[in-house]
Structure 1
Amino acid sequence: MAQGVMSFSRESSRSDSIDESDEPKTPRRKRSSFATRFLADLGPFHDIGFFVGSNEDDQRLITCHKLALARVSDVFAHLFYRPDTDVDEDEPIFVPDMSPLAFEAMCGFAYTGEMYVESFDECCGLLYAAKKYNLSEGLRNQCRAYLWANIYPNNVWRCLEFAMNNEEPALYQTALQILQLKTSKLLTREKFRKVSESCLITLLQQERLAIRSEYELYDACLRWAERQIDKRNLTNSRETVRKLLEPAFLHLRLLAMSDEEISQGPLADDILTDEEAVALLNREELGGIFCPVQDERMQPKVNSFETFAFNDELFLIHLENEYFENTYDVFAMAFSSSGDFHSTQLGIIVPTQIRPKDCTEDSYDEDLTVFLYNCTKGEMMSITRFRGSVPYDSQIEVPFRQQVELKCKRVRKVIKVVFHRTGTYPANYQLEEGKDSEFKVGNFNGQENVKLWHKRSYGYIHFCAYTVEVASIDRGD
């Protein structure tokens, strides 16, 4: 197999654009053995070639063994070894719908049985190849796990579009939930200005978004339009901007904006006719291409989320990345600060999976890892692996592998959960009406009078448990 090296505005005063790397930091993995690499590199003995890529500039010739591909794909087995197919061994097969890197990753799996990718886009390509050529479901699920863990923050839009186009409902739902929960932050990233029109419209169609007002969406759409003008080399004029925004106007709730926002937005930007401007200020329906809804969008409410199982090898790679910059941040991480002079961190209480509709079992084998990280000192305090049979629709106590003493008054700590089982988990905890946080004393892992602390931002994690040896100045953890 041929080898390659992967290398991995509207700039208004009203919004801050952040230009950040689009790829998570993922270390390159070693091939499994010298023997498999030797087999893969037997270039003179390769008996099939592929021209892979959508155009001549990106296209590459990749050669390999027919038998290796046929062993893992019935599609290739039929193509190479059925008498009713017509494959000319002297001519390469054209594969215009894949990148060379993704095709090489597929060939690497055929030789080694391992998933080997270096970027989010490459993993999308490998999952596409696994579905197109009917490779194992295990490979597909590992691709999904890699993608799921790295959707946030840099790849939300890429995942949304890939999932829409390739019938991946769980990945699509995860990307959509992240967009709903982190809307304001994601709108300020430079990546947003490059999204497709279909992704933009999908965002605007949501009833629940984490925004302060509709003006945020309007401002973001205008920055997106100006980026499209540069990208397509269009004339920068009022007519061009309006034409680009017409699909967005069907969903932008201009009538929900305040008079001040209307004045500094649509009126100041001169993208409305005089009649439309008057109607907007009078809160009259604009008709035509404009959205008639006057109600503000509601804040997001995510009741459950999907997870994909990491195998141990992918999990070790995940540990080498930055601990707190991926999808787990959104669904399974708790931030808290200790207000006690001396406390001992005991563990957490988390919910178990929601039982699938077609499942007749009362329990399942849970497998997850809990991190306890001291942000004040920048060090990992505990890594706990929990395995065991647990009931569906319940909750479990996960004691830390070693109890951790905190002797500083204000210790910023982070607790994070990584899942090793595919399934659906509850995404929030119901607190008493009007309370922003909840504190109580209860039992944990056989100990009595343990402090149990919960905040709305915890989401999936129900309670953090700890004891206090010295009376605290203020309540909380």
Structure 2
Amino acid sequence: MSVDHSATNNHQLTSCDWQIKKQKISERGQYLLRTAQWSDCKFIVGTEPYQQEFGGHKLILAMSSPVFEAMFFGGMAEKNDPILILDVQPDAFKALLEYIYTDAVNLQSFDQACELCYAANKYMLPHLVGECTNYLWHDLFPKNACRAYEFAKLFEEPVLMEKCLQIICLETEAVLQEPSFEEVEFSTLIVVLEQDELRISSELELFKAAQRWAARECVRKGLPPDDGKSLRSVLGPAVGKIRFLTLTPSQFAEGPALSPLLTQDESFAILLNISSTSASCKLPLPEGFSNSVESRCRPSPASPDQPSSLPVQVGILASPAHRDTKFYCVRNILPQPHCLNTSILDCSVTFTVDRNIFVHGVQIPTQVLGEGSEVGTGSSPPNPQLGGSYTELLYAHLLDSDGSRLTYTHYTTRVSYGSLVEITFNRSVEIQRNKVYRVGVVLNKVGWYPMGSCTQRMMCDTVFFTFSVGQPSDSVRDGLIRAIVFSY
């Protein structure tokens, strides 16, 4: 019996057509995920009525996640099929699978990043957690600062927590006016009320926001939202954090004194303390109430006719008024073996900031090999304590995300070994928040330079810097750029 080998070959070619056409493993992974071909496990994700079913491949999942490895191949391997996952949203689980199968991360919103980060933590995918956290870092606004704070606290991200608190303190009025403030956790409400400096016009704003939160919490707990006892029961010690004594008598009498939150005795005692200048006429404040008379109001960062929210043109020259106070975002560094420059040494680092600033220059380390020491192949490490000086020769510039030069300088001067030197650009440039920029320095002197790995995220005053963003090739020997010199 004869066999038509050509027909067999044509059949094999047809059945394997997708493997042949897919040039990258990510494309083949995407095909398997989309078609569920050869899938050997199923997941039911989410809660009714929004549940979705997903097919998966145990080997691929276990290869990426130790949690999936234990689930499918561990001693307590999952026997149920399909596997029920109730605590993850379907869209987040789909994005999780996309990452596992294709390495793709396509974040579109703050909420999506939070949900995906929860799933990534659950299944122990630290790189994906980092991608989500980085997205949140650049998508912080008053409307989501409190939620981002709670997220950062949950996943122990202290730097992100600090940035959220900065936004809350600097843009308090906008934060309190957001409807989402009524949804914050009680512990977050306490944190806001415990801040010593907030950008508010008076303590009335905090009182009104706390009352709104309490009314909403009563609804969540099935309590009457207009009943004083119910409001106080959910607020607990929070009401005592409000600095009533910073209010004028009329402010208190026309506001908090009329609220069901306070009893008549409490209102009378507070009003008497506000109004009276004589200690003998004052009544003791109710237990747990703040006796602070110090206002926590911060002045606005911009005058009414020049609001800080207006868009700013990139690349304009900084006015002298903006140069009075300079700040130095000095990067924490983990020292590494020194680098020998034999001709020209390129170094650069990309960065973003969370608010518009003026960049004036950078700080870089000088050579560590003292004068009179021999520069050779480097059989022994250089001694940074030798002292002396040499003539440094370099070029530095600031580029935007398209590689266009915004400012630059040529630098030649006598410098000390083992020190930091400040390089000032020919002109200061104003740059925009959340845009990627790159500082580059070209060192032209032969000698040893101290290398190191620098922290990727730093806060200086109220400005947050994120370094080494964008394309990895844009940040080269970035440890040689130790600080960004700026003002705002």
Task: Tell me which residue corresponds to 1:112.
Answer: 102
The residue type equivalent to 1:355 in the other structure is R
Kindly provide the CA deviation profile for residues 368-414 of structure 1, in whole angstroms up to 9, marking residues without a partner as x.
3699x9xxxxxxxx8665899x99896764979xx9xxxxxxxxx98
What is the TM-score with the length of structure 2 in the denominator? Answer: 0.60
1: CA distance, partners of 2:157 / 2:128: 15
Q: Say if 1:392 and 1:168 are closer, same or farther in 2 by CA, change over 3 A.
A: farther
Give the alignment partner of residue 72 of structure 2, picking from 76, 80, 95: 80
2: CA distance, partners of 1:96 / 1:398: 58
Task: Tell me which residue corresponds to 2:190.
Answer: 201
Give the alignment partner of residue 38 of structure 1, picking from 24, 31, 39: 31
For residue 285 of structure 1, report the CA deviation from its aligned partner.
4.2
Q: Say if 1:392 and 1:174 are closer, same or farther in 2 by CA, change over 3 A.
A: farther
Alpha carbons 2:197, 2:298 under 8 Å: kept: yes
Q: Which has the higher contact order (CA 8 A, sep 6+)?
A: 1
The answer to whether residue 351 in structure 2 is matched with residue 368 in structure 1 is yes
Task: Tell me which residue corresponds to 2:471.
Answer: none
Task: Tell me which residue corresponds to 1:160.
Answer: 149
Q: Say if 1:197 and 1:370 are closer, same or farther in 2 by CA, change over 3 A.
A: closer
For residue 182 of structure 1, report the CA deviation from its aligned partner.
0.5
The residue type equivalent to 2:30 in the other structure is R
Task: Tell me which residue corresponds to 2:362.
Answer: none
Alpha carbons 1:208, 1:301 under 8 Å: kept: no
Alpha carbons 2:228, 2:262 under 8 Å: kept: no
Larger mean Cα displacement after TM superposition, 353-362 or 271-280: 353-362
The answer to whether residue 477 in structure 2 is matched with residue 462 in structure 1 is no
The residue type equivalent to 1:67 in the other structure is L
Q: Say if 1:246 and 1:300 are closer, same or farther in 2 by CA, change over 3 A.
A: farther
Unpaired stretches in structure 1, ≥5 consecutive residues: 1-30, 303-328, 338-343, 374-381, 404-412, 430-458, 464-477
Give the alignment partner of residue 461 of structure 2, picking from 424, 427, 439: 427
Give the alignment partner of residue 159 of structure 2, picking from 170, 183, 189: 170
The answer to whether residue 148 in structure 2 is matched with residue 148 in structure 1 is no
For residue 287 of structure 1, report the CA deviation from its aligned partner.
3.0
Give the alignment partner of residue 180 of structure 1, picking from 169, 188, 191: 169
What is the TM-score with the length of structure 1 in the denominator? Answer: 0.61
Report SS of the residue matched to 1:294: coil
For residue 99 of structure 1, report the CA deviation from its aligned partner.
1.7
For residue 252 of structure 1, report the CA deviation from its aligned partner.
1.3
Task: Tell me which residue corresponds to 2:253.
Answer: 263
2: CA distance, partners of 1:184 / 1:292: 23
Q: Say if 1:107 and 1:392 are closer, same or farther in 2 by CA, change over 3 A.
A: farther
Equivalent residue runs for 1:320-331 within 5 Å = none
The residue type equivalent to 2:191 in the other structure is T
Q: Which has the larger radius of gyration?
A: 2
Give the alignment partner of residue 418 of structure 1, picking from 435, 442, 448: 435
Q: Say if 1:416 and 1:226 are closer, same or farther in 2 by CA, change over 3 A.
A: same
Task: Tell me which residue corresponds to 1:47.
Answer: 40
Alpha carbons 2:143, 2:174 under 8 Å: kept: no
Alpha carbons 2:353, 2:434 under 8 Å: kept: yes
2: CA distance, partners of 1:99 / 1:300: 42
For residue 424 of structure 1, report the CA deviation from its aligned partner.
0.7
Work out the number of aligned pairs and report it: 346
Task: Tell me which residue corresponds to 1:219.
Answer: 208
Give the alignment partner of residue 199 of structure 2, picking from 195, 210, 222: 210
For residue 301 of structure 1, report the CA deviation from its aligned partner.
12
Task: Tell me which residue corresponds to 1:354.
Answer: 330
The residue type equivalent to 2:458 in the other structure is T
The answer to whether residue 99 in structure 2 is matched with residue 123 in structure 1 is no
The residue type equivalent to 2:45 in the other structure is V
Give the alignment partner of residue 237 of structure 1, picking from 227, 238, 253: 227
Supply the RMSD in Å over aligned alpha carbons.
4.3
Equivalent residue runs for 1:241-256 within 5 Å = 241-256=231-246
Equivalent residue runs for 1:394-405 within 5 Å = 397=425
1: CA distance, partners of 2:456 / 2:310: 21
Kindly provide the CA deviation profile for residues 54-94 of structure 1, in whole angstroms up to 9, marking residues without a partner as x.
x4334433221112212211222233234x23322x52233
2: CA distance, partners of 1:223 / 1:256: 21
The residue type equivalent to 1:162 in the other structure is F
The residue type equivalent to 2:66 in the other structure is D
Unpaired stretches in structure 2, ≥5 consecutive residues: 1-23, 274-282, 302-306, 340-346, 357-399, 412-418, 438-454, 464-483
For residue 37 of structure 1, report the CA deviation from its aligned partner.
2.9
Q: Say if 1:142 and 1:365 are closer, same or farther in 2 by CA, change over 3 A.
A: farther
Report SS of the residue matched to 1:61: strand
2: CA distance, partners of 1:347 / 1:35: 51
Task: Tell me which residue corresponds to 2:472.
Answer: none
Report SS of the residue matched to 1:62: strand
Report SS of the residue matched to 2:349: strand
Alpha carbons 1:204, 1:251 under 8 Å: kept: yes
2: CA distance, partners of 1:392 / 1:200: 44
Report SS of the residue matched to 1:105: helix
Report SS of the residue matched to 2:435: strand
Kindly provide the CA deviation profile for residues 86-114 of structure 1, in whole angstroms up to 9, marking residues without a partner as x.
322x5223333322221111111011101
Give the alignment partner of residue 65 of structure 1, picking from 42, 57, 61: 57
Larger mean Cα displacement after TM superposition, 391-400 or 202-211: 391-400
Alpha carbons 2:328, 2:485 under 8 Å: kept: no
2: CA distance, partners of 1:129 / 1:460: 39
For residue 158 of structure 1, report the CA deviation from its aligned partner.
1.5
Larger mean Cα displacement after TM superposition, 274-283 or 211-220: 274-283
1: CA distance, partners of 2:337 / 2:459: 16
